[in-house]
């Protein structure tokens, strides 16, 4: 764990946990994400003081108004990943198509692709509520030395070599997995280092929080309506507590610490759901499973869904295994 080096008065952070299992290149890639997160964190913390609030005046491929912080975070992560010479391609919520990175020697021989939601929880930016960043990392599947193709990005979530999120909250944390458990690091902004504050994160045995935007209740599928009524019924360990922050990263992170289920179902407004499979649901699903939880679309394991398009949306149920399975039961019974 951390050791205090009296002469430097600094924490010497031993990168335990994640680096034991990841290759040098993957470690360097994750380090570049940690660096970019520090830059975004610096801006998020000043959002009210510098001109970073409000909309950027254009919309993204999703048809959503891009917030200035969406655009800023997108640029920081793309520039950092490009300059670090480790990725051969990047896909982002804020980019219509994927970006090909040739590499310094123009040989297209970098090994990894990154898919990301550079700023998650955009509706919370202007109201000073926590937001996040989500990332997903795959090894390319097309031949090295050739430009990446869409196939490198449309891989099922089970192929991810790493996945994680940053939550810019009361503290800034980066939480990620390389397939051998989940580790959480808290940023010490005064010296710019990350401290392994949450080693080997696991969902608690049980959860008593359900997190869903109940304002959409009338538009929910019957199975979700039935599950919400189940959560609210006075019986056994219920009623559960309802908590909804409105940023996936924050709602998911709270559930990992306290136990709970997060649901963004299909609605009549968003028949496929709102969350994107490739750079929101897949990475969060890998973390959920690595932390002993579960993630599905209400019927099928998220990580086994074969993607068809870069920005496709899926319904998303994730959290404590027993809670997700109970919700799936209501979904199946309502079919």
In the annotated binding site, the residues are: 93, 117, 119-123, 213, 244, 274, 280
Sole window of 47-55, 96-104, 117-125, 183-191 interacting with ligand FBP (rule: CB under 6 A) = 117-125
Per rule CB under 5 A, is residue 251 in the interface with Mg ion?
no
Per rule CB under 6 A, is residue 123 in the interface with ligand FBP?
yes
Q: Which residues of 37-59 are buried (b: 16+ CB within 10 A; e: fewer)?
A: bbbbbebbeebeeeebeebbeee
Token pair, residue 69, equals 């912080």
8 A C-beta contact, residue 40 and residue 67: no
- Mutual angle of helices 321-333 and 222-232, in 10-degree steps: 130
What is the footprint of ligand FBP within residues 131-190 (CB under 6 A)?
none
Beta bridge partners of 137: 114, 162
Which one, 121 or 169, has the nearer CB to ligand FBP? 121
Interacting residue with Mg ion among 18, 93, 289, 328 (CB under 5 A): 93
Q: Which does 213 bind (CB under 5 to 8 A by kind): ligand FBP, Mg ion, none?
A: ligand FBP
Q: Provide the minimum distance between the beta carbon of 147 and Mg ion in the complex, in angstroms, as a whole number.
A: 26
Token pair, residue 79, equals 């520039």
Q: Which does 247 bind (CB under 5 to 8 A by kind): Mg ion, ligand FBP, none?
A: ligand FBP
Distance CA 193, CA 46 (A): 19
Q: Which residue ranges are tagged as binding site for substrate?
A: 120-123, 213, 244, 274
Per rule CB under 6 A, is residue 94 in the interface with ligand FBP?
no
Burial of residue 269 (number of CB atoms within 10 Å: 0-12, 13-18, 19+): exposed
Backbone angles phi, psi at 176, to 5 degrees: -155, 170
Sole window of 108-116, 117-125, 146-154, 190-198 interacting with Mg ion (rule: CB under 5 A) = 117-125
Per rule CB under 6 A, is residue 267 in the interface with ligand FBP?
no
Contacts with ligand FBP, residue ranges (CB under 6 A): 93, 117, 120-123, 213, 246-248, 274
């Amino acid at each position: 764990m951390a050791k205090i080096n009296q002469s430097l008065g600094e924490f010497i952070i031993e990168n335990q946990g994640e680096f034991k299992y990841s290759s040098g290149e993957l470690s360097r890639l994750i380090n570049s994400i940690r660096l970019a997160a520090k830059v975004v964190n610096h801006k998020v913390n000043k959002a009210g003081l510098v001109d970073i609030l409000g909309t950027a005046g254009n919309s993204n491929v999703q048809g959503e108004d891009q917030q200035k912080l969406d655009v800023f975070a997108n640029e920081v992560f793309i520039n950092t990943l490009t300059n670090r010479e480790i990725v051969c391609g990047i896909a982002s919520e804020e980019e219509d198509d994927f970006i090909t990175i040739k590499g310094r020697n123009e040989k297209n021989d970098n090994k990894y692709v990154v898919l990301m939601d550079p700023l998650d929880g955009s509706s919370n930016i202007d109201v000073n509520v926590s937001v996040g960043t989500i990332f997903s990392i795959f090894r390319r599947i097309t031949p090295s030395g050739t430009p990446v193709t869409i196939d490198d990005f449309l891989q099922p979530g089970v192929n991810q070599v790493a996945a994680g999120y940053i939550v810019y909250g009361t503290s800034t944390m980066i939480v990620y997995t390389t397939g051998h458990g989940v580790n959480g690091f808290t940023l010490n902004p005064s010296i710019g280092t990350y401290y392994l504050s949450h080693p080997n994160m696991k969902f608690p045995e049980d959860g008593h929080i359900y997190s869903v935007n109940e304002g959409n209740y009338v538009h929910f599928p019957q199975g979700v309506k039935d599950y919400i009524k189940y959560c609210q019924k006075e019986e056994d360990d219920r009623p559960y507590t309802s908590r909804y922050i409105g940023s996936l990263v924050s709602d998911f992170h709270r559930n990992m610490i306290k136990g709970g289920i997060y649901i963004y179902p299909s609605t009549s407004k968003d028949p496929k759901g709102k969350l994107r499979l490739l750079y929101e649901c897949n990475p969060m699903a890998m973390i959920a499973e690595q932390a002993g939880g579960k993630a599905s679309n209400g019927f099928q394991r998220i990580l086994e869904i074969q993607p068809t398009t870069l920005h496709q949306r899926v319904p998303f149920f994730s959290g404590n295994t027993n809670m997700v399975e109970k919700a799936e039961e209501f979904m199946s019974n309502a079919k």
